[in-house]
Amino acid sequence: MPKLIIDGKEIEFNPGQTVIQAAKENGIDIPHFCWHPSLSISGNCRVCLVEIEKMPKLVISCSTPATEGMVVQTQSEKVVAARNAVMEFFLINHPLDCPICDEAGECKLQDYAYQHSVGESRFTEEKNHKEKRVELGPNVMFDGERCISCSRCIRFCDEIAGKKELTFIKRGDRVTITTFPGKKLENPYSINVTDICPVGALTNRDFRFKSRVWEMAPTKTICSGCARGCNIDVWTRNNEILRLTPRFNNDVNSYWMCDNGRLNTFKHINANDRVNGPHIRKEGELIKVGWDEAYAKTLSELKSFAKDEIAVLTSASLTVEDAYLVSKFVRSINVKNFDFVKNIVPGSGDAILIQEDKTTNAKGVELMGVDSSKGGLKFDEIISHIESGRIKAVVLIEQDLIGLNSAFEKALAKLDFLVALATNFDTTTSLANVVFPASTYAEKNGTWINFQGRIQRIRPAVTTIEMERSLDGMSLSRWDKFGTDFDSWGKSQKNDARPTWKIISGLANAFGTKYKFTMAEEIFNEIAHTNPLFSGLDYDVIGERGVQLKTETMQIPPLAGQKKVKI
């Protein structure tokens, strides 16, 4: 590989790389605003200036190709002076909004002002004032005074989202960003511009003014919006989720996530309609009871039906661990009418990230044996048998059937007995005889397998009463491996919810079968020792980026016109 020298250090680079790319890959930081690894080069911020031997002037490292034998200085006296001048220019009209700006703590201009600025301004005139609180679209607010005209947002809309919605207008220090006439910033990925904005000019209207970044703790997990499985950070304060942001994974979602996944996959977690404890229907109303009473009621009722009168239906968004134990339990009680339910929304997918399959783990659930392959009925047949009265009892696991399709309400109303494992009270639980409180994806450990066959980890970002019980007597170092900041959970009210695998384990115990699992990791270890597809895997191996499973069964055809996410 060709080599160049940066600040006296010889490094290798790939042909075609620019100086800033070569430096970044080798851990050398060159300050930059407008350059982004996944966007085209604009070269308009000038803060990435470097000195190259035999070149008469300083050059911008973002657009200068690296060449064999090139000698680069990023900290020479000439470079430092130029960088200070560029920073002084940026700060001339920039408002002193740091105390009220959502970007404070994450702002590149703020960081660079400390690292690369002289710390004072010679500008004595009144600062230029521009429009504030401009609603560019339903999800993004713009503050013109904070904008440094890096053009990242414009290039994102043009190149990644494929929607020409933003542009520059005016000139000089009057230049600002606006939408094209008659248009709004409303593409399905619009909030990504708030992530890549290096200052506080673009803000997420849903998160705006909710918290300072240093008051929150991030947890690395996976988006539950569709089968893509975008890597995300869940940001919490006082045991409440306040925002989701994309986490870079070149093999899944690059730097991006869609607005729907960002806004609509966490509000239910701290909602007032959470199922807070087991409930049994008494005299027409769901009454909160203890776990033992709920298990006893379920056991006595299910044992009164013949095996072919019982069906178990699960969501295709169960974790691999949940699905494994559900499958193990259902087989142990010899119920054959067993299937999972996908949520396919035709026409909702695109060629960037969004998938038509809105469930997170359909392939994983199938691999764990949640199906009717043992001679039982498939989903459509189960519904038909419920309508005809041949199936009289159903256990629904993390699946709001009526919310999926209101036509199912008539069928479920005919059942003699309905058990629901649910995170929130919904239209289906309104018909249930027993309701168990299930943990959400942000309250448990586990794994999902996305549509590409990549197995990835989810981690708890908020805690439940059950998780606090598990913490008792367990060393903090053992929990540290889960990558969660447990100190951030605070003292707020917590739900009495349990992971589905733990609920099923308790139900199996009532039926006389005892499982010895105490945590999801132990279930996965058993899977890895019994299923060759998962051989050699554990939570540490899967890590933060996931592992691609190597099997022909995982090669699911992409959507028509599907293309790789731009890197």
Mean pLDDT calculated for residue range 261-289: 94
Q: Looking at the predicted structure, is the pLDDT value of residue 492 above 90?
A: no
Residues 194 and 283 in one domain: no
Residue 453: C-alpha distances to residues 276, 494, 550 (Å): 34, 34, 8
Mean pLDDT calculated for residue range 531-540: 94
CATH code (residue 35): 3.10.20.740
pLDDT tier at 204 (50, 70, 90 boundaries)?
A: very high
Percent of the chain with pLDDT over 90: 85
Residues 129 and 82 in one domain: no
Residue type, 143: D
Q: Which of 25-29, 69-73, 328-332, 465-469 has the lowest mean pLDDT?
A: 465-469
Is the CB of residue 62 less than 8 Å from the CB of residue 32? yes
Q: Starting from the edge strand earliest in sequence, which strands make up the sheet with 9-12, in order?
A: 9-12, 3-6, 71-73, 49-52, 59-60
| Number of domains the chain is built from | 3
Q: Among residues 301, 296, 501, which one has the least CA distance to residue 397? A: 501
Does residue 19 fall inside a structural domain? yes
Q: Which residue has the higher pLDDT, 233 or 551?
A: 233
Strand runs labelled E in 319-374: 337-341
Main-chain dihedrals φ then ψ at residue 184, nearest 5 degrees: -125, 160
Does residue 274 fall inside a structural domain? no
CATH code (residue 167): 3.30.70.20
d(CA 339, CA 329): 14
Does residue 8 fall inside a structural domain? yes
Q: Is beta strand 434-437 parallel, antiparallel or unpaired with respect to 446-449?
A: unpaired
pLDDT in tens, 55-65: 999 999 999 99
The gap between the terminal CA atoms of the chain, to the nearest Å, is: 22
Is the CB of residue 40 less than 8 Å from the CB of residue 31? no
Is the CB of residue 220 less than 8 Å from the CB of residue 459? yes
Question: Does this model's pTM top 0.85?
Answer: yes
Burial of 266 (0-12, 13-18, 19+ CB in 10 A): buried
pLDDT, residue 561, reads: 34
Residue 475: how many other CB atoms lie within 10 Å: 8
Which residues are 285's β-sheet partners?
282
Q: Looking at the predicted structure, is the pLDDT value of residue 525 above 80?
A: yes
Q: Of the residues 32, 56, 91, which one is the last residue of a structural domain?
A: 91
pLDDT in tens, 94-147: 998 999 999 999 999 999 998 888 877 888 888 889 999 999 999 999 999 999
3-state secondary structure of 158: helix
Cβ-Cβ contacts under 8 Å for 45 (sequence gap 6 or more): 32, 33, 34, 35, 86, 148, 150
Does residue 489 fall inside a structural domain? yes
Does residue 140 fall inside a structural domain? yes
Is the CB of residue 130 less than 8 Å from the CB of residue 145? yes
pLDDT, residue 126, reads: 86
Burial of 122 (0-12, 13-18, 19+ CB in 10 A): exposed
Residues 113 and 245 in one domain: yes
d(CA 278, CA 437): 6
Does residue 556 fall inside a structural domain? no
Tokens 């190597």 label which residue? 550
Q: Which residue has the higher pLDDT, 323 or 565?
A: 323
Residues 350 and 454 in one domain: yes
pLDDT tier at 533 (50, 70, 90 boundaries)?
A: very high
Does residue 483 fall inside a structural domain? yes
Residues 119 and 178 in one domain: yes
pLDDT, residue 173, reads: 86
505-513: long-range pairs with CB below 8 Å, 24+: 505/325, 506/291, 506/295, 507/295, 507/298, 507/299, 507/329, 508/329, 508/332, 509/295, 510/295, 510/296, 510/298, 510/299, 511/299, 511/329, 511/332, 511/333, 513/329, 513/332
pLDDT tier at 566 (50, 70, 90 boundaries)?
A: very low
Give me the chain's average pLDDT, please: 90
pLDDT, residue 552, reads: 55
Does residue 543 fall inside a structural domain? no
Residues 114 and 213 in one domain: yes
Is the CB of residue 465 less than 8 Å from the CB of residue 438? no
Residues 67 and 121 in one domain: no
pLDDT in tens, 373-417: 667 899 999 999 999 999 999 999 999 999 999 999 999 999 999
pLDDT, residue 493, reads: 54
pLDDT in tens, 155-184: 999 999 999 999 999 998 899 999 999 999
Residue 286: how many other CB atoms lie within 10 Å: 18
Residues 258 and 284 in one domain: no
**Containing structural domain, residue 72:** 3-91
d(CA 130, CA 356): 42
pLDDT tier at 565 (50, 70, 90 boundaries)?
A: very low
Q: Which two tokens stand for residue 42?
A: 């604009």
Residues 87 and 132 in one domain: no
d(CA 447, CA 314): 16
3-state secondary structure of 441: helix
Residues 115 and 76 in one domain: no
Q: Which of 127-136, 297-306, 357-366, 459-468 has the lowest mean pLDDT?
A: 459-468
Cβ-Cβ contacts under 8 Å for 517 (sequence gap 6 or more): 325, 501, 505, 523, 526
Residues 73 and 141 in one domain: no
Residues 151 and 56 in one domain: no
Q: CA Rg, the chain, in Å?
A: 27
Query: Residue 511, by phi and psi: left (phi above 0), alpha (psi -120 to 50) or beta?
Result: alpha
pLDDT, residue 471, reads: 54
d(CA 556, CA 564): 15
